[in-house]
Amino acid sequence: MFNFPVLLLAFFSALSAQSAPTTGFDELSVRAIQFASGHVERLPLAAIERLRSATPLPRPLTPESYTAARKSLADISILTASVISDEAIDRLQGHFQRKIWGSGYVDVTDSSKNVSRRALAPQVDVPAYPTPDPSAQSQLKPMLAMVNPDELKSYVTQLSTKYDTRYYLSLKAREPAEWIRSQLGSWLGEKQVRFVENEFNQPNVIGRIEAKSGDPNAPIVLLGAHLDSTNASGVAVMMSIMRILKANDYQGAYAIEAHAFAGEEGGLLGSKKVATEYKAQNKVIRGMLDFEMVGYQPATASNAGKSSTITVLSDPVPQMSSHMAQIVQKYVPTAEQRSVACGYGCSDHYSFYDQGYPVVCIASYGPEDSQLNPGYHTTNDTVDKLDFDKASDVCARRIGVGGRGDVLK
């Protein structure tokens, strides 16, 4: 698992039960959701959630399957069953038990208006990153000693067991965000951490380390992980990196921001708001690295003798994926490296891609991988299933941490 904090440094140079939704974003509110085809459909939140949580119907779906799915929504008063498309049913039905990453769609309610189809392929300008070279970054190796598996485990335990739920529509959904903010604030300073509020009761949390120049408009290296429901391990890695950087008084040519996104499971809600605002404010992002579920590291035939497993998602920006794969090869040569397509809207990096920013996502295992955590989206996704020691050994003994220069020069 936790060679991932070191990869973040290189990039720089458990499901809970649902509670009642908050007022203003309730189950009958109609959301405009976009699928991979570009089609935008308007559905009440109750219909979306019911389809996603249902027992999966056999695939491929048949005409009888579509009829059965529509009948299951008949009691939702504001939904006329005939208007829900086959595509929506195909994408949403049985989503959680099918182990599909993210929401299966992007919520575009605020930007769709009367549009029924939106473009999916923005122009992305990828910076000319230097070739990864660990030997040039030896001055940063002391940071390795600060990668602590017990620290990481404590963050995951806090997020996974100390709150009734992290579900974004829970009345208590704000609590984990407040804890993340308090931790980042204790390291970075309170003025360097802020909330970005959403329509629902779970804000995004942003912590920032300024560029050495002090320029508030300096380009940003952005780290992201969603705080709702799943992905406590991704948030833990991000928090640990910010603590280590600040403890070493690190400042570079670019500002570094850590974003804990809210409402990812609801259609990338929190990240979409931030990405849209950053684009409107003409903020420059040097690169965005998204962390998804990095903790599950089972012993398999393919990783026998390897220090860990790292999956670099191959989309949506191939140049970014290629560069991250090079970083993994140079800094973690002992790891099993995998690659798989993430798919449209699979995680928060897609929100920034949609605004034309260069993005990449890494995880232990990607969507639909046969080794993906079998407890994903269930109450069996617990701390004891994660391997903290195995990969922290990789961090401490085998990885040079100087790769920040491989992105930031």
DSSP notation for 120-152: ---------PPPP-GGGGGGGGGGGGG--HHHH
Q: Which of 312-321, 359-368, 378-387 holds the top average pLDDT?
A: 312-321
Residues of the chain with pLDDT > 70, as a percent, come to: 83
Using the structure block, give the residue that is written with the tokens 């670099």. 312
- Mean pLDDT of the region 191-219: 97
Residue 399 has pLDDT above 50, yes or no: no
Residue 187 CA from chain centroid, whole number: 22
Residues of the chain with pLDDT > 90, as a percent, come to: 51
| Lowest mean pLDDT segment, chosen from 207-211, 295-299, 324-328 | 295-299
Higher pLDDT, 14 or 362: 362
* pLDDT score at 328: 84
- DSSP β-bridge partners for residue 361: 290
Order of strands, sheet of 255-261, starting from the edge strand that comes earlier in the sequence? 193-196, 204-209, 255-261, 220-226, 285-292, 359-363, 309-313, 336-340
DSSP state of 256: E
CB 360 within 8 A of CB 334: no
| Distance between CA atoms of residues 240 and 187, nearest Å | 10
- 325 token code pair: 């794969």
* pLDDT score at 120: 64
Confidence category of residue 396, pLDDT binned at 50, 70, 90 = very low
CB 303 within 8 A of CB 390: no
Provide the sign of the torsion angle of the four alpha carbons 48, 54, 60, 62, taken in this order: negative
Number of neighbours of residue 87 by Cβ within 10 angstroms:
13
DSSP state of 312: E
Residue 403 has pLDDT above 70, yes or no: no
The model carries a pTM of: 0.89
Confidence category of residue 98, pLDDT binned at 50, 70, 90 = confident
Phi, psi of 27 (to 5 degrees): -65, -20
Q: How does DSSP assign 225-237, residue by residue?
A: EE-SSS-HHHHHH
Q: Which of 202-206, 228-232, 299-303, 365-369 holds the top average pLDDT?
A: 202-206
Give the domain 4-17+121-408 fold.
Aminopeptidase (3.40.630)
Q: pLDDT tens-digit profile of 137-147?
A: 776 677 777 88
Confidence category of residue 271, pLDDT binned at 50, 70, 90 = very high
H or E element at residue 307:
none
Domain positions in the chain are 4-17+121-408, 30-112
| Distance between CA atoms of residues 56 and 76, nearest Å | 20
CB 12 within 8 A of CB 221: yes
Mean pLDDT of the chain: 84
Residue 130 has pLDDT above 70, yes or no: yes
CB 194 within 8 A of CB 206: yes
CB 270 within 8 A of CB 204: yes
Q: Which of 152, 142, 134 is nearest to 396 (CA)?
A: 142
Q: Which of 25, 26, 43, 24 is nearest to 35 (CA)?
A: 43
Number of neighbours of residue 203 by Cβ within 10 angstroms:
24
Q: Is 385 helix (H, G, I), strand (E, B) or coil?
A: helix
- Mean pLDDT of the region 264-290: 96
Q: Which of 41-50, 161-170, 208-217 holds the top average pLDDT?
A: 208-217
| Distance between CA atoms of residues 361 and 377, nearest Å | 19
Environment class of 34 (CB within 10 Å of its CB; exposed 0-12, middle 13-18, buried 19+): buried
